[in-house]
Amino acid sequence: MSCRIAGIPAAICPSRRSSCSSTGTAASKNRSRESGYSEVDTDGDDKDSDEEFLLDVLTKCKWMGLAQFAMIPLVFALAKLRCNRLVLACVAVEVLISLVAQQQVRREVADWVYVKDVWKSHTEALNRRPVGILQLRELLVYFATLSEAKDPAMDAWTAANSYEMCTASVHERFVAAWKPIPVVGHTVGSLGLPGILLLCLCVATLGQMYAFLRKEGQVNARLDCIKQSMMSTCPDEAAHCRWRVWINMSHMMDVGGLMLLHDIFRELVQVEISLSKKVWPVPDRNASFRVRIVLEDLPGLWLQISLLSLTWESATISSLVVTFVTCACSYVNILKHLWLVLQCLRAELCPRMQGITEKSIISELQPTLSTHLYYCTLLCLFLLGVFIILACSIRLAGIWQCPSHILNLSSGCVAT
């Protein structure tokens, strides 16, 4: 462990590496004791304790994620009963509880990494995290990603409000707009805009819960990779073993809306990328892109703009504000994910643009049919996302530009 990590100025650091290393190890142990956590596998002898520790972290994350999903039907029910102040209070309380719980687990993971003498690069990557309960960086990360974590709850709030916002005249105009479309038009007309919003919410929630629990199973099956990385004498193989755990943990936290925990596992993924060129070079968020963007935000944003345009003159200010906030969350999430998907596509289709050498994992592995299908699907979803975000931006501008507040992409402003 380096002298910088141990807290010793470089100018007075002893030249012997053993002295600096022992001091750094002592500092790591003190940090672990000060945080209230026991040392886990300090010398790497008891490797089974690593699996037990990660399994305990995995269990805590599982229950925190399920609690996040439980907020969706709760918010919908309270908003349907027009208890908007109670909804706001529940969301605020849940935000604070989730912040403290995630910070607690994040500290446990960081302290577990700190006492690993052989993980010097990982310790240096996390060394900017100071000791304490709530640090400024964690707060900034948490609130910067709050739009992603609370987007499902906002979608539920908007879906519940739509039952009050959609009057008989609004329903007639919505059905008339969809009626010319074969098959789909009849289904949409029978459900109405509130029913479609609720259906999208249910499909997205169930899809996210399935992906969350599936990722939890994948992480559970790969916990022995940490033991393999300790036993491996090949640095590239050890980095790849650890990467398999970190990337699946980051995907699980991402799908579950545990963004503070997603951040620390994503940092560990970036460490493995820096250590080996045989590791996939992009800390992607493809799992979240499929279930949170494609299933939820893209169709949700389109329908929420329809709700805004149809109820602009009849809805209450509070309902319009909730719908606007929901649209803003969707916009932020979609743009973030599209940028990361673009990086993944560039790394796959143009490896040299990412600085990947001929010895990278891309050139060593023989591409399979499933790999080609995966990236072709990802490319199609990316193009679909770009089209929808552009179309929604045009339709959103039509709320102010058109006298009827409704802009049709093919025919322009709809007559009142």
Contact predicate 95/153, CB 8 Å: no
CA distance 283 to 336: 13
The reply to whether 120 falls in a domain is: yes
Q: 53 and 25, same structural domain?
A: no
Residue 27 placed within a domain? yes
A 10 A CB-CB count for 234 gives 12
For residues 258 and 206, membership in a common domain is answered with yes
Q: 149 and 28, same structural domain?
A: no
267 membership: H or E segment, kind and range: helix 259-275
Specify the range with the lowest mean pLDDT, choosing from 67-81, 95-109, 193-207. Answer: 95-109
- Residues 162 and 189 grouped into a single domain: yes
**63 and 20 fall within a common domain:** no
Q: What is the pLDDT of residue 123?
A: 67
Q: Tokens in use for 236?
A: 């590239």
Within a domain: 394? no
More confident residue, 238 or 249: 249
What is the pLDDT averaged over residues 270-277? Answer: 83
Say what the pLDDT of residue 280 is. Answer: 75
The reported pLDDT for the residue numbered 15 is 34
Residue 1 pLDDT = 37
The number of domains in the chain is 2
Confidence bin at 99 (pLDDT 50/70/90): confident
Asked if residue 328 is part of any domain, the answer here is: yes
Quick one: average pLDDT of 37-62? 70
238-264 average pLDDT score: 89
How far apart, in Å, do the first and last CA atoms of the chain sit?
A: 71
Could you tell me the pLDDT band of residue 38, with boundaries at 50, 70 and 90?
very low
Same domain, 252 and 120: yes
Say whether both 170 and 252 belong to one domain: yes
Q: How confident is the model at residue 37 (pLDDT cuts 50, 70, 90)?
A: very low
111 within a domain of the structure (yes/no): yes
Regarding whether 291 and 261 lie in a shared domain, the answer is: yes
Report how far residue 280's alpha carbon sits from residue 361's, in angstroms, rounded to the nearest whole number: 7
Q: Is residue 408 part of a domain?
A: no
Model pLDDT, residue 172: 87
Q: Are residues 257 and 352 in the same domain?
A: yes
C-alpha 12: how far from chain center:
43
Cα pseudo-dihedral 210, 212, 213, 215, rounded to 10: 120
What was the pLDDT predicted at 355? 45
pTM, two decimals, is 0.79
What pLDDT is recorded for position 124?
Answer: 67
Q: Is residue 137 part of a domain?
A: yes
Domain boundary among 329, 357, 385: 357
pLDDT of residue 133: 42
Give the position of tokens 């009142």: 416
Do 272 and 239 meet the contact criterion of CB atoms below 8 Å apart? yes
Residues 4 and 52 in one domain: no
Q: What is the largest CA-CA distance in the chain?
A: 82
The single residue listed with the structure tokens 């399935």 is: 210
Averaged pLDDT for residues 253-282 = 86
Residue 122: what residue type?
A: H
Which of the listed residues 339, 357, 375 is the one where a domain comes to its end?
357
Q: Do residues 116 and 187 both lie within one domain? A: yes
311 token code pair: 């109820």
pLDDT at 115 over 50: yes
Domain final residue pick, 317, 342, 357: 357
Question: Which of these, 334, 354, 338, 358, lies nearest to 346 by C-alpha position?
Answer: 354
Which residue spans within 313-410 are E strands per DSSP?
407-408
- In this prediction, residue 358 carries a pLDDT of 39
| Percent of the chain that is helix, strand, coil (3-state, to 5) | 75, 0, 20
Tell me the pLDDT tens digit for each residue of 303-318: 999 999 999 988 899 9
pLDDT in tens, 374-392: 888 889 999 999 999 999 9
Could you read off the pLDDT of 72-94 as tens digits, one per residue?
Answer: 999 999 999 999 999 999 999 99
pLDDT band at 17 (very low <50, low <70, confident <90, very high): very low
Domain that holds residue 19: 1-34
pLDDT at position 6, please? 34
In a domain, 407, yes or no: no
139 lies in the same domain as 284: yes
